[in-house]
Structures are given as structure tokens and as C-alpha cells.
A = this chain, B = another copy of it.
Amino acid sequence: MQTAIHPRRHAAHCSNCAMRHLCMPEGLTPEETEKVEDVISATRAVRRGEALFRTGDPFDSLYAIRSGSIKSVVSRDGGREQVTGLYLGGDALGLDGIGENRHMSTAIALEDSSVCIVPYARFERVCRETSSIQRRLHQMMSREIIRETNQLTTLGTLRADERVARLLLDLSARYTRRGYAAAEFTLRMTRDDIGSYLGITLETVSRTLSRFQQRGLIDAHGKLIRIRDFDGLRAV
């Protein structure tokens, strides 16, 4: 697979990026956004199935998704792997690499995607100069912690159908904030990935979606999902 890296002068800037309100510039002034922009060295295209980075790779950049979607996976002893995160446009990847100076997970594109490359050393320097940008980085890291805490409660307390319902509602909310329809979207992950993400098997995912459909909660045609009864899903 071929990776296309575009130097910054060819890359779109934050100021005209569709994701700017969800991405690193969130809450920053235009001047501060420009400082963030100056850190971004390039964009990179990642094709479906390709890895943006892998466990053990030296860490030197964070990534922000411009378009597409990316899953993070960690391999466990014995080839088995677990999906630990699902990232959409505007989301930041690679925060887990800071602690050990190497990436602690593998990031794989779920569809052809594009990311901004944020060299970490330069970003840290900018954070020291501008407290609002510093605060924004800390906020992003903290929110990643909160996201994982949430996922822990999903895996720790919910039954299979509750987990699937929660995922659908979560995706709906996230797509809504990105300007897409709340009720209709395409699952980018396979049933296997979804099961791994939710701590259940792919068969259980499939059966659960079928049951939701029978009960009139959703329409599901393969990866295309239409939510027909939000309250019903919340009450699962």
C-alpha cells in the first residue's frame, strides 16, 4: 500500500477545515488556531485497512482526523486483538504514545481517510507559549480518559443488547455533531470489530441487530443502519 504525505503548503488549513470546531482548534481564537496550524507539518492519506501507526513504533506525532474513520487495536498474547477505540473526523489519535515514547496501540483506517500530522515536540513548545493551547491539549487527553472510563462501564456492567444499543446511540450522537443525519449512518466496522469493541462475539452482534430490527428499533442492511426508535433503543 502506498502512503501519500503532503507537505503543509499543499494541505488545507484549520481555518477552512470542516472539522475545526471539533478538532484541536475547538475553543481557540483565530490567532491561536493559526499557531496550532503552524505546528502541523503535513497531512497524510491512509487507505482502508492501512495502519497509521503500530504498537511499538517510535512516537513523535499526534494525529487529527480530517476525514474518514480509524480504529485503535491492541494485540493480546496469542494473536487475539481487541478494538479499544473508534475515532471519527476531528478526533485525535496517538495520545497513548506520549507516556512511553512509543505507540502503545495500532491505528487502522476503517475507510480511506486523511489525517493531519502534529509533531509532538513542536506542539509541546507551543503549549508552553500559549496557555489556551496548553489547556486544549490537556482537555483532549482528559476527554480520552473519560471516553475510556465510559467504555469500561459499558464492558463492566451492560448486557450484550445494551452494549450494542449504546454503541448505536453513541455513533448517532457523534455523527450528528459532525453534521450528518442522526438516524441513518454506515457502520464502518465489521461485525467482528464491533464485537471486539464491545467485548462480545460477532454472532451476538449479528443476532442483536436482527432482534432490534424485528422489534422495530432499527433498520439494518449490512453496515447501513437506520434508527427508527431512539427511546426504544435507550430503554433496551
Interface assignment of A97: CB less than 8 Å from any CB of chain B: yes
Query: Which one, A148-156, A185-193, A206-214, A215-223, is touching chain B?
Result: A148-156
What chain B residues lie within 8 Å of A139 (beta carbons)? 98-99
What chain B residues lie within 8 Å of A95 (beta carbons)? 141-142, 145
Query: Which one, A7-15, A74-82, A174-182, is touching chain B?
Result: A74-82
Interface assignment of A6: CB less than 8 Å from any CB of chain B: no
Q: A76 touching B157 by the CB < 8 A rule?
A: yes
Enumerate A59-89 residues with CB–CB distance to B below 8 Å.
Answer: 74, 76, 80, 82, 84
Interface assignment of A131: CB less than 8 Å from any CB of chain B: yes
Partner of A145, one of B125, B128, B144, B196: B144
* Bound CA span A4–B32, Å: 42
Interface assignment of A146: CB less than 8 Å from any CB of chain B: yes
Name A105's closest neighbour in chain B (CB-CB): B149
CB distance from A5 to the nearest CB of B (A): 25
Q: B96 touching A124 by the CB < 8 A rule?
A: no
List of 7 A-B pairs having minimum Cβ-Cβ separation, nearest first: A99-B142, A98-B142, A155-B155, A156-B199, A148-B148, A99-B143, A141-B141
Q: A99-B140, A128-B131, A148-B149 are in contact. List 5 more A-B contacts (CB 8 A).
A: A76-B153, A82-B153, A84-B156, A96-B145, A99-B139
